[in-house]
Amino acid sequence: MSRAFLVVMDSVGIGGAPDAGQFFNEGRPDTGANTVLHIAEAQRLDLPHLDRLGLGAAIRLASGAEAPGLGAAPQGIWGAATEISPGKDTPSGHWELAGVPVPWDWHYFPDRQPAFPPEVVARVCELAGTERILGNRHGSGTVMLEELGAEHLRTGWPICYTSADSVFQIAAHEEAFGLDRLLKLCETLAPMLHEMRVGRVIARPFLGGPGGFQRTANRRDYAIAPPADTILDIAAQAGRVTHAVGKIGDIFSHRGITRLHKGGSDADLAGHLLRLIEEAEPDSLTFANFVEFDSLYGHRRDIPGYAAHLEWFDGIVGQALHRLKPGDLILFTADHGNDPSWTGTDHTRERVPVLGARHGAASQAVGQVGFSDIGASVAAHLGLPAPGHGKNFL
């Protein structure tokens, strides 16, 4: 029996992307952005399990930098992966990790006001049954609520905003506007935006009142379907069980997924992952995404919060490694960076770590690889046909 666990630490980048200069935060190129390095430089980071697998060595390989407190002799499968897709967003990163680089240019909304074309605004108003929308610009979701939440409660108009990603986001109050109404609005609007090559329509429900608005766990992403078969499709077509933990289902437009394991927090998702390592079927694939590095700390430019979450997750890594069974492969990686020390509030273009273990196997340096080599290696480990891109590095 062989099982594979592919775990994405959302936004845990390690710098060094060769094309970082083509990606921006508030007009500043991402050249030099390095999520883990800059956290380690700002404060002490205690990551014994990730570092023992090879995190410090991977940072050195990706960017040439020495991260303070990291850099143990690697004992795991370790390397650094470079993305080729023309986007530093979550679907681009995940699809390429799953063997399908993005073959098109995403549509991004311009960073001006109004950001959205009149026909999109008209469609939102028609579907929502409102006279107007609020926002219509780039912004950080929590700031949008502080600035427009009260007006939303007064007018009932949905708050529409975007970012450096190819996204159309709608924030609305779960009770005043209605959660079902918001989800229906996003779902019905999505085909129009997918047609424009906008990657995702994202529902951003929140609760509370002025001065105390809180986003809830009922976020939903309506993403374009991947343009070719990913390792999830390939595994499902071969009759394998595929477990999607966290937002993996949404990211892959629910293709190739047998079982969904969702939760309100990364702590819930860690519970799912550890249980699946105990219980997942022989020859199954588990694909997990831990989003809070990105959503709670990276976009919020919160260095201490990001550091604490890394240290918490390091403990989960230790427990996961301890539970591996003969034939198991586990790989920890990321989908892009989100350097909390950087300008702006958007993702940063970075290389990502490849860190993992095979039950009972020795350390293995895989060197510089591509995102899609990770998918190809997972497929090879499971004895499945290779996806269209990538080479097995194991």
Ligand X SMILES: O=P(O)(O)O[C@H]1O[C@H](CO)[C@@H](O)[C@H]1O
The binding site for Mn(2+) consists of 10, 294, 299, 335-336, 347
**Nearer residue to ligand X within complex by CB, 52 or 138:** 138
Residue 85 interacts with ligand X (CB under 6 A)?
Answer: no
Taking the complex as a whole, the smallest distance from the CB of residue 67 to ligand X amounts, in Å, to 26
Taking the complex as a whole, the smallest distance from the CB of residue 217 to ligand X amounts, in Å, to 13
Q: Which of 30, 229, 250, 294 binds Mn ion (CB under 5 A)?
A: 294
**Nearer residue to Mn ion within complex by CB, 283 or 335:** 335
C-alpha distances in Å from residue 304, one per residue of 41, 94, 130, 151, 216: 12, 26, 41, 32, 22
Q: How many residues bind Mn ion (CB under 5 A)?
A: 4
Cis preceding-peptide flag for 114 (omega within 30 of 0) = yes
Beta-bridge mates of residue 110 = none
Backbone angles phi, psi at 213, to 5 degrees: -75, 140
**Nearer residue to ligand X within complex by CB, 171 or 321:** 171
How large is the C-alpha radius of gyration of the chain? 20
Which residue ranges are tagged as binding site? 10, 294, 299, 335-336, 347
| Inter-residue contact 84 to 100 (CB < 8 Å) | no
| Inter-residue contact 45 to 65 (CB < 8 Å) | no
Which candidate, 139, 149, 77, places its Cα nearest to that of 299?
Answer: 139
> Which partner in Mn ion, ligand X, none is near 335 (CB below 5 to 8 A by kind)?
Mn ion
Report the length, in residues, of the chain.
394
What distance in Å separates the CA atoms of residue 370 and residue 8, rounded to the nearest whole number? 15
| Inter-residue contact 347 to 93 (CB < 8 Å) | no
**Nearer residue to ligand X within complex by CB, 167 or 374:** 167
Taking the complex as a whole, the smallest distance from the CB of residue 289 to Mn ion amounts, in Å, to 8
Q: Which of residues 185-204 bind ligand X (CB under 6 A)?
A: 202, 204
User: How many CA atoms are closer than 13 Å to the CA of 114, on its beta-carbon side?
Assistant: 13
* Site string (315-354) toward Mn ion, x via CB under 5 A: --------------------x-------------------
Taking the complex as a whole, the smallest distance from the CB of residue 309 to ligand X amounts, in Å, to 15
Tell me, rounded to whole angstroms, the distance of Cα 149 from its chain centroid: 26
Candidate segments 88-96, 102-110, 240-248, 369-377, binder of Mn ion by CB under 5 A? 88-96
| Inter-residue contact 281 to 258 (CB < 8 Å) | no
Which candidate, 195, 133, 182, places its Cα nearest to that of 162?
Answer: 133
Taking the complex as a whole, the smallest distance from the CB of residue 133 to Mn ion amounts, in Å, to 22
Residue 299 interacts with ligand X (CB under 6 A)?
Answer: yes
Q: Which of 35, 136, 163, 289 binds ligand X (CB under 6 A)?
A: 163
**Nearer residue to Mn ion within complex by CB, 221 or 283:** 221
* Residue 161 in tokens: 């905003």
**Nearer residue to ligand X within complex by CB, 92 or 284:** 92
> Which partner in ligand X, Mn ion, none is near 51 (CB below 5 to 8 A by kind)?
none
Cis preceding-peptide flag for 326 (omega within 30 of 0) = no
Residue 167 interacts with ligand X (CB under 6 A)?
Answer: yes
| Inter-residue contact 76 to 361 (CB < 8 Å) | no
Taking the complex as a whole, the smallest distance from the CB of residue 96 to ligand X amounts, in Å, to 16
Count CB-CB contacts under 10 A for residue 214: 11
Taking the complex as a whole, the smallest distance from the CB of residue 37 to ligand X amounts, in Å, to 22
> Which partner in ligand X, Mn ion, none is near 10 (CB below 5 to 8 A by kind)?
Mn ion
Q: Which of 83, 96, 165, 350 binds ligand X (CB under 6 A)?
A: 165
What distance in Å separates the CA atoms of residue 53 and residue 72, rounded to the nearest whole number? 8
Q: Which of 9, 10, 45, 342 binds Mn ion (CB under 5 A)?
A: 10
Backbone angles phi, psi at 131, to 5 degrees: -75, -35
Which spans of this chain sit near ligand X (rule: CB under 6 A)? Answer: 90, 140-141, 163, 165, 167, 169, 202, 204, 295, 299
Which spans of this chain sit near Mn ion (rule: CB under 5 A)? Answer: 10, 90, 294, 335
